[in-house]
């Protein structure tokens, strides 16, 4: 008797909500509550949230654009330099003061999820996006990028912990004057890339940037996507010839003289400086931040080209970004509705297109971009080839394992101190269990 009474009460309540929902549906394109209890109605979302990031182009103007549609929400922007950003996150995580929405990458992302600090965005992704043609927020993203953002995390229960903010596309900027002087052309095959390196080295230039302090390991990642694509990660072994081949490709580049020894520790500023001083002929980088500074500082002719396939398999996919630029929501946030809404805003078509044209970023959404800037074309073309999906054929490095790999094994390989076979062997035990 009691039970029936309760059920009819519940039914009545449900009816009211549905009617209200239908009534409001005329005002907004989404239902006013998600299945997890979050509001998506802009008029109902109020309060203040904190957004933390290391992205230099995230400024108050970007953040204020959110207030146009959500006037009752105040967003505080917390910028910290990338070097110390993880330390700050650690401190805030230990004391339970993480920001509501924030960017995370690599090791800190993995450990944040393990410690249960992240909010499961699965339900939110099924709701409508901030803008754009896609039906759901999840659908607005490039599928492989969304997958990549969560690839190093535990998603065994179908969770989605983060969304990709931007994609990593890599191309080579080159000094046209040097190329003309040495008499070489833009390479279309790996062999041409190598012969260019040798020619440039013989002419007394540094052929290519390495940025060993942060970007060196791109080369192995690009190589493995060529040699190991199609293999299954469950079958992975460090003795796999295709795995070793990735190291051999890097060794070939080192032997062709593409880099000088000191470049295993150069940082971005040093490489940019060398390029602008016409000492380096080719600068391999991402477009945001650096394309603009190179264009501003160069007093020579510039060109860009798409990197050729390192093992001949076209179209060669580009890095994509994996877990390098991920946006997450704090599980303990006191204003989840506002946090999720802000995350949707940051990954909206409007914001990502604006940033792409003004800051040379590559959007993580499934939208077509054509840039007015001819230099940007190579990056967009590379992105158009698709993104690498290493989690299908390669296990993830553990945090400490990646440190060993990037600061010892990779540099030693480039310096010629170890062979590719030794490098592969030394990575045994460096992967996540």
Partner 1 sequence: MADTIVRSRTRLRRRVPRAASWVLWGYGVISIYPLVWLVIQSFRQDGEILRSPWGLPASPNLNGYLTAFQTTPLAQYFLNSLLVTLSVVVLSVVCCAGAGYAFSRLRFPGSNAVFATFLGVLVVPAPVLLLPVFLISRDLGILNSYVGLIGPYVAGTLPIGVYLMKTHFDAIPDSFVEAASIDRASPWQTFRMVMLPLIGPAAATVAVLAFMAAWNEYIYALVSIHSPELFTLPIGIADLGAKKFIYGYAPVFGAMVLTALPVYIAFVVAQRSFIQSLTIGGGVKG
Partner 2 sequence: MSRIASERRRSRLLGLLFAAPAIALLFLFLIWPIITGIGYSTTSASGYGDKTPVGADNYVRAIQDPDLYAALGRNIIFAVIVVVASITIGFVLAYFLYMKIRGWRALQVLLMVPYIMPVVVTALLWQFMLEPENGLVNAALRAVHLNALAGPWLTGEGTALGTVSLVQVWVTVPFAMLLIFGALIALDHEVLEAAEIDGAGTFTRMTRIVLPMVRPTIVLVAVVLSVQLFRSFDLVYLLTRGGPINSTTIATLYVFVQGFINNEYGYANAVGIVIGAVLVALALLPRLFSRRAAFREKANHG
Residues at the site binding partner 1, with contacts judged by CB under 8 A: 54, 56-57, 78-84, 87-88, 90-91, 94-95, 97, 268-269, 272-273, 276-277, 289-290, 292-293, 296-299
The phi and psi torsions of 49 (rounded to 5 degrees) equal -130, 160
- Closest distance between partner 2 and the C-beta of residue 350, in Å? 33
Judged by CB under 8 A, the residue of 354, 381, 408, 421 near partner 2 is 408
Pairing of strands 47-53, 101-104: parallel
Pick between residue 31 and residue 263 the one whose CB is nearest to partner 2.
Answer: 263
Q: Does 206 bind partner 2 (CB under 8 A)?
A: yes
Cα(361)–Cα(196) distance, rounded to whole angstroms? 29
- Closest distance between partner 1 and the C-beta of residue 430, in Å? 23
Which string of x and - marks every residue 115-134 that binds partner 2 (by CB under 8 A)? Answer: xxx-----------------
Judged by CB under 8 A, the residue of 74, 122, 279, 385 near partner 2 is 279
Q: Which of 56, 50, 53, 147 is nearest to 361 (CA)?
A: 56
- Closest distance between partner 1 and the C-beta of residue 419, in Å? 36
- Closest distance between partner 1 and the C-beta of residue 363, in Å? 19
Judged by CB under 8 A, the residue of 45, 213, 294, 309 near partner 2 is 213
Judged by CB under 8 A, the residue of 24, 77, 107, 369 near partner 2 is 107
Cα(168)–Cα(145) distance, rounded to whole angstroms? 10
Could you identify the residue written with the tokens 């039906």?
A: 135
Q: Which of 168, 154, 271, 161 is nearest to 225 (CA)?
A: 168
Torsion of CA 371, 373, 378, 379, to 10 degrees: -60
- Closest distance between partner 1 and the C-beta of residue 273, in Å? 4
Pick between residue 108 and residue 333 the one whose CB is nearest to partner 2.
Answer: 108
Cα(358)–Cα(370) distance, rounded to whole angstroms? 13
Q: Which of 236, 175, 167 is nearest to 200 (CA)?
A: 175
Which stretch, 182-190, 257-265, 296-304, 423-431, contacts partner 2 (CB under 8 A)? 257-265
Pick between residue 150 and residue 361 the one whose CB is nearest to partner 2.
Answer: 150
Question: Which of partner 2, partner 1, none does residue 411 bind (CB under 5 to 8 Å by kind)?
Answer: partner 2
Judged by CB under 8 A, the residue of 24, 93, 233, 375 near partner 2 is 93
Pick between residue 136 and residue 412 the one whose CB is nearest to partner 2.
Answer: 412
DSSP bridge partners of 327: 103, 163
Pick between residue 99 and residue 138 the one whose CB is nearest to partner 2.
Answer: 99
Burial 115-130 (b: 16+ CB within 10 A, else e): eebbbbbbebbebbbb
CA atoms within 13 A on the CB side of 152: 26
Question: Which of partner 1, partner 2, none does residue 373 bind (CB under 5 to 8 Å by kind)?
Answer: none
Structure tokens at 197: 């390196």
Spatial contact of 173 and 302, defined as CB atoms under 8 Å apart: yes
Q: Where are the extended beta strands (E) located within 115-221?
A: 162-164, 166-167, 171-175, 206-208
Pick between residue 227 and residue 398 the one whose CB is nearest to partner 2.
Answer: 398
Pick between residue 82 and residue 115 the one whose CB is nearest to partner 1.
Answer: 82
10 Å Cβ neighbour count for 412?
A: 16
Q: Does 197 bind partner 2 (CB under 8 A)?
A: no
Cα(131)–Cα(345) distance, rounded to whole angstroms? 8
Question: Which of partner 2, partner 1, none does residue 299 bind (CB under 5 to 8 Å by kind)?
Answer: partner 1
Residues lying near partner 2 in the complex (CB under 8 A) are found at: 86-87, 89-90, 93-94, 96, 107-108, 110-112, 114-117, 206, 213, 260-266, 270, 273-274, 277, 279, 399-400, 403, 407-408, 411-412
């Amino acid at each position: 008797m009691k039970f029936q009474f309760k059920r009819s009460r519940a039914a009545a309540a449900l009816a009211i909500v549905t009617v209200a929902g239908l009534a409001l549906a005329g005002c907004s394109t989404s239902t006013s509550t998600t299945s997890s209890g979050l509001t998506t109605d802009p008029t109902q979302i109020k309060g203040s949230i904190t957004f933390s990031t290391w992205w230099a182009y995230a400024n108050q103007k970007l953040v204020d654009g959110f207030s146009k549609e959500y006037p009752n929400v105040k967003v505080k922007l917390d910028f910290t330099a990338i070097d110390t950003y993880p330390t700050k996150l650690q401190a805030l995580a230990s004391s339970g003061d993480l920001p509501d929405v924030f960017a995370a990458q690599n090791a800190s992302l993995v450990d944040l999820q393990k410690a249960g600090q992240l909010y499961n965005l699965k339900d939110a992704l099924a709701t409508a996006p901030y803008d754009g043609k896609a039906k759901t927020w999840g659908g607005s993203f490039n599928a492989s990028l969304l997958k990549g953002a969560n690839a190093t995390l535990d998603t065994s229960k179908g969770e989605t912990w983060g969304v990709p903010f931007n994609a990593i596309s890599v191309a080579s900027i080159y000094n046209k004057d040097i190329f003309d002087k040495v008499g070489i052309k833009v390479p279309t095959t790996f062999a041409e890339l190598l012969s260019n390196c040798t020619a440039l080295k013989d002419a007394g230039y540094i052929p290519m940037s390495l940025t060993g302090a942060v970007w060196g390991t791109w080369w192995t990642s690009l190589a493995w996507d060529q040699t190991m694509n199609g293999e299954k990660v469950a079958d992975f072994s460090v003795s796999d010839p295709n795995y070793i081949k990735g190291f051999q490709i890097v060794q070939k580049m080192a032997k062709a003289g593409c880099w000088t020894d000191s470049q295993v520790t150069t940082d971005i500023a040093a490489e940019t400086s060398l390029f602008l001083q016409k000492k380096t002929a080719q600068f391999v980088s991402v477009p945001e931040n650096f394309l603009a500074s190179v264009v501003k500082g160069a007093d020579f002719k510039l060109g860009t080209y798409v990197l050729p396939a390192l093992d001949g398999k076209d179209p060669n996919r580009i890095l994509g970004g994996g877990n390098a630029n991920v946006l997450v929501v704090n599980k303990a946030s006191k204003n989840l509705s506002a946090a999720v809404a802000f995350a949707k805003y940051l990954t909206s078509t409007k914001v990502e297109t604006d940033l792409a044209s003004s800051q040379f970023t590559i959007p993580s959404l499934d939208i077509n971009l054509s840039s007015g800037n001819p230099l940007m074309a190579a990056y967009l073309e590379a992105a158009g080839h698709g993104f690498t999906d290493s989690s299908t054929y390669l296990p993830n490095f553990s945090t400490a394992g990646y440190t060993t790999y990037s600061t010892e094994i990779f540099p030693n390989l480039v310096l010629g101190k170890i062979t590719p076979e030794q490098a592969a062997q030394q990575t045994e035990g460096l992967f996540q269990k």
